[in-house]
Structure 1
Amino acid sequence: MSNDVAIIGVGMHRFGRFDGVSGRAQGAHAVREALKDAGITWDQVQVAYGGSQDAGNADALASDLGLTGLPFVNVANGCATGGSSLAAVIAAIRSGSADIGVAVGFDKHPRGAFNPLPKDWGLEDWYGETGLMLTTQFFAMKTRRYMHEYGITDDALIRVAQRASRNGALNPKAWRRQELDYEQIAESSAVSLPLRKFMFCNPAEGGAAIVLCAARLAKKYQANPVIIRSAAVRSRHHGSFEVFSPALMAQQVSAPTVTASRAAFEEAGVGPEDIDVLQLQDTDSGSEIIHMAENGFCEHGDQESLLREGATEINGRLPINTDGGCLANGEPVGASGLRQVIEISLQLRNQAGARQVPNNPRLGFTHVYGAPGVSGVTILERG
């Protein structure tokens, strides 16, 4: 199609903790790496979207990269900020208003748990007083309910975290690069049961950037472009139970992950069975398990057997979070969704090194989920 969009450059600043390095500096590093990968300079970029939760406005990057007058829009969509920034750049290029654009995200979070205020999310103080603004508690409650409904046991939670640590150990840009064994995870300290210490991601630092262009121009800049088959962002519906939901409705409806993934599959003209490698939001082990089914990759309750048989490993039939996901990388909110797309791009370019999925993968899938119930899904194809 004439309005197809391609990824021609990817760049990251390693995730983790970097005292003395600002979040903005990490974002600028990521953009420079992406521009280098695409073989272009900043003054060739015609539009940019980006976000950061705790490290300042993303458009301040223009002071570091060059004051060229381009439209640079700040995006704030919780953990879905990266996916939303990417979707906005894709829309701009498809519309014909730009040929080359950049999506960028970075963050530098304080140590400890995220500490959002109820009023910032349209909630009253009682919601925070119950402890539910602390996302570790919310996700643990949601996971416990899901386990009860579908017969999932602690074994599945442990195996998700174990695979994340194993894949993270193969990723030079991951924060957590130590492989953990089953017992270390199972016996780690309880945070909010059923979720334990090594089943959660950490607020982190890092930067990620992606250069996109009209697909008709892609080969001019990149020998191995990745084509965007679809990009969908959806928010929650009345009755879906998501982070910062003030109530659990008697009659529940589909989560935004379900509607976003269905829209993405329909636009791409493919199904879950066609995907060769995927990234799912894994704020915690339970979230990844839930998202496996919500995105259509299995039936509810089938996750445990898939994990036990090794289907989600790098050499399995459904490789998930090959770079270690949020569990191994941590989550700098602005950058996290773009990290997912970068990993899939490297996989489709056969440039993922020790964590490369075999058999020349053709189609990849990314899914990001953020407060207050926003999901972003992209489907990518080897160019």
Structure 2
Amino acid sequence: MSADDVLVCGVGITPFGRSEATGRQLAVEAVHTALADAGLPWSRVRAAFGGSDAAGNADTLVTRLGLTGVPFVNVRNGCATGGSALVSAVNALRAGAADVALAVGFDKHPRGAFDPRPADWGLDEAYGAEGLMVTTQFFAMKIQRYMHDHGITPHTLALVAEKAYANGVRNPHAWRREPLTADEILASGMVNDPLTRYMFCSPGQGAVALVLCNRAVARELGGAAAPVALRAAVVRTRRFGSFEVFSPWAPGGTPTSVSTDAARAAFEEAGTGPDDIDVCQLQDTESGAEVMHMAECGFCEHGEQRWLLASGATAIGGALPVNTDGGCIANGEPIGASGLRQVHEIVQQLRGRAGERQVPGEPRTGFTHVYGAPGVSACTVLTR
């Protein structure tokens, strides 16, 4: 089976933010929506992969979905959980183990910052006592170095968040739907220099599900499913010399980048490149992340981001729209769902079904990228 014989035939998403629903309830809702979108019953799914970081085991969703005996594998891989579930589902189709597969990601996090335990990451407790488990501190250290090396200013960081909130206004599933100006974002209170309060995403809740089919099943479904070809789906871990969450160390020189490795692998698998992408989703845990990932994934040279953002090139009507649904900054981050939310958005953009946030000109090719601790990245390439 070739790479473009894996098709996304159904997508489902819940509103992100906070509600009384459990993470598992949201996941079931997203799965039902995705199945209805594909025009398939749950009994037709031959393999399922899913996960969350804090909301329970995905395989237990069968108690609500139906006890069909389907093989259902739990996935837990930090912020790359959704992307890893998707890669697993893709591999099941390519191996011929299934002709219809499900990928689902969901989470429900408590209020406040993420609270990782050093022992879960193979680290001594002293590491936490020194404050090195604080993710806001890590992201600040990383973007401080990047700004120094490439001439990025705090105003550029504010423009990333301003765009995110503006796009969130157009997204009915987004958590943050109020516009904010760059000046308001800069004045919102320093968390870790240079990152202010409104430059960060917030832990939240939400669920996304994708139904994948091979080409034979897609033909049976006809045009109703509006399938999108998933040309590549890859996951990579860090190499020596990287500077990562919970491992903020570099041996000197230019650090290696797991995001660069994953993006290159995805483009190679798809037989395409950054210049061919019409719309993309990049991990934006905070404003600096989107800036760095633009260059790390090959969409610009390091330092060019300040001009691209100032010119509106990454806005919905720009040359390369980035995070058209508001990204993590506007949607929040339910860890298990974020990577699949990105794919959901690209599928809707390529279908022409993104509503008020639809990219003009009938985009044909999309890219997604997620990054998480302790140096894991998942990327996809999709085509209409």
TM range (shorter): over 0.9
Query: Given the alignment of the two structures, is residue 281 of structure 1 paired with residue 278 of structure 2, yes or no?
Result: no
Report the counterpart of residue 177 of structure 2 in structure 1: 177
Mapped to 2, the partners of 1:246 and 1:344 lie a distance apart of 32
Query: Given the alignment of the two structures, is residue 339 of structure 1 paired with residue 369 of structure 2, yes or no?
Result: no
Counterpart residue identity of residue 368, structure 2? T
Mapped to 1, the partners of 2:48 and 2:267 lie a distance apart of 26
Report the counterpart of residue 26 of structure 1 in structure 2: 26
> Does the CA-based 8 Å contact 1:127-1:246 persist in structure 2?
no
Query: Given the alignment of the two structures, is residue 69 of structure 1 paired with residue 66 of structure 2, yes or no?
Result: no
Q: Classify the secondary structure of the residue corresponding to 2:165.
A: helix
Structure 1 residues 140 and 63: CA distance shift in structure 2, 3 A: same
> Does the CA-based 8 Å contact 2:165-2:177 persist in structure 1?
yes
Report the counterpart of residue 238 of structure 1 in structure 2: 240
Mapped to 2, the partners of 1:219 and 1:278 lie a distance apart of 27
Percent identity for Structure 1 against Structure 2: 59
CA drift of 1:128 comes to: 1.1
Structure 1 residues 240 and 54: CA distance shift in structure 2, 3 A: same
> Does the CA-based 8 Å contact 1:8-1:222 persist in structure 2?
no
Report the counterpart of residue 141 of structure 1 in structure 2: 141
Q: Classify the secondary structure of the residue corresponding to 1:68.
A: coil
CA drift of 1:279 comes to: 0.1
Counterpart residue identity of residue 305, structure 1? W
Counterpart residue identity of residue 332, structure 2? G
Q: Which runs of 5+ in 1 are unaligned?
A: none
Mapped to 2, the partners of 1:158 and 1:285 lie a distance apart of 7
Query: Given the alignment of the two structures, is residue 364 of structure 1 paired with residue 366 of structure 2, yes or no?
Result: yes
> Does the CA-based 8 Å contact 1:219-1:225 persist in structure 2?
no
State the TM-score, normalized to the length of structure 1: 0.98
Mapped to 1, the partners of 2:300 and 2:68 lie a distance apart of 47
Query: Given the alignment of the two structures, is residue 320 of structure 1 paired with residue 322 of structure 2, yes or no?
Result: yes
Report the counterpart of residue 225 of structure 1 in structure 2: 227
RMSD: 1.1
Q: Classify the secondary structure of the residue corresponding to 1:319.
A: coil
CA drift of 1:125 comes to: 1.7
Query: Given the alignment of the two structures, is residue 203 of structure 1 paired with residue 203 of structure 2, yes or no?
Result: yes
Structure 1 residues 115 and 219: CA distance shift in structure 2, 3 A: same
CA drift of 1:253 comes to: 4.3
Report the counterpart of residue 249 of structure 1 in structure 2: 251
> Does the CA-based 8 Å contact 2:242-2:249 persist in structure 1?
no
Counterpart residue identity of residue 308, structure 2? L
Q: Classify the secondary structure of the residue corresponding to 1:247.
A: coil
Counterpart residue identity of residue 345, structure 1? V
Report the counterpart of residue 291 of structure 1 in structure 2: 293
Structure 1 residues 283 and 222: CA distance shift in structure 2, 3 A: farther
Mapped to 2, the partners of 1:148 and 1:167 lie a distance apart of 29
Determine which of 372, 375, 380 is the counterpart of 1:373: 375
Mapped to 1, the partners of 2:248 and 2:166 lie a distance apart of 37
Mapped to 2, the partners of 1:304 and 1:285 lie a distance apart of 12
Report the counterpart of residue 161 of structure 2 in structure 1: 161
Mapped to 1, the partners of 2:88 and 2:188 lie a distance apart of 40
Report the counterpart of residue 7 of structure 1 in structure 2: 8
Mapped to 2, the partners of 1:152 and 1:232 lie a distance apart of 30
CA drift of 1:183 comes to: 1.7
Report the counterpart of residue 349 of structure 1 in structure 2: 351
Counterpart residue identity of residue 122, structure 2? G
> Does the CA-based 8 Å contact 1:81-1:333 persist in structure 2?
yes
CA drift of 1:181 comes to: 1.4
Mapped to 2, the partners of 1:220 and 1:343 lie a distance apart of 25
Counterpart residue identity of residue 284, structure 2? D
Report the counterpart of residue 91 of structure 1 in structure 2: 91
Counterpart residue identity of residue 188, structure 1? S
State the TM-score, normalized to the length of structure 2: 0.97
> Does the CA-based 8 Å contact 1:237-1:253 persist in structure 2?
no
Bigger shift: residues 369-378 or 213-222: 213-222
Q: Classify the secondary structure of the residue corresponding to 1:369.
A: strand
CA drift of 1:313 comes to: 0.4
Mapped to 1, the partners of 2:186 and 2:255 lie a distance apart of 33
Bigger shift: residues 42-51 or 252-261: 252-261
Counterpart residue identity of residue 109, structure 1? H
Mapped to 2, the partners of 1:255 and 1:148 lie a distance apart of 18
Report the counterpart of residue 214 of structure 2 in structure 1: 214
Q: Classify the secondary structure of the residue corresponding to 1:90.
A: helix
Counterpart residue identity of residue 324, structure 2? T
Deviation beyond 4 Å, 4+ runs, structure 1: none
Counterpart residue identity of residue 19, structure 2? F
Q: Which runs of 5+ in 2 are unaligned?
A: none
Mapped to 2, the partners of 1:30 and 1:99 lie a distance apart of 20
Q: Classify the secondary structure of the residue corresponding to 1:15.
A: coil
Mapped to 1, the partners of 2:198 and 2:215 lie a distance apart of 41
Q: Deviations over 1:295-332 (max 9, x none)?
A: 00000111000000110000100100000000000000
CA drift of 1:2 comes to: 5.1
Counterpart residue identity of residue 7, structure 1? V
Bigger shift: residues 179-188 or 310-319: 179-188
After superposition, residues 33-52 of structure 1 pair within 5 angstroms as 33-52=33-52
Mapped to 2, the partners of 1:222 and 1:208 lie a distance apart of 24
Structure 1 residues 62 and 313: CA distance shift in structure 2, 3 A: same
Mapped to 1, the partners of 2:248 and 2:76 lie a distance apart of 21
> Does the CA-based 8 Å contact 1:50-1:85 persist in structure 2?
yes
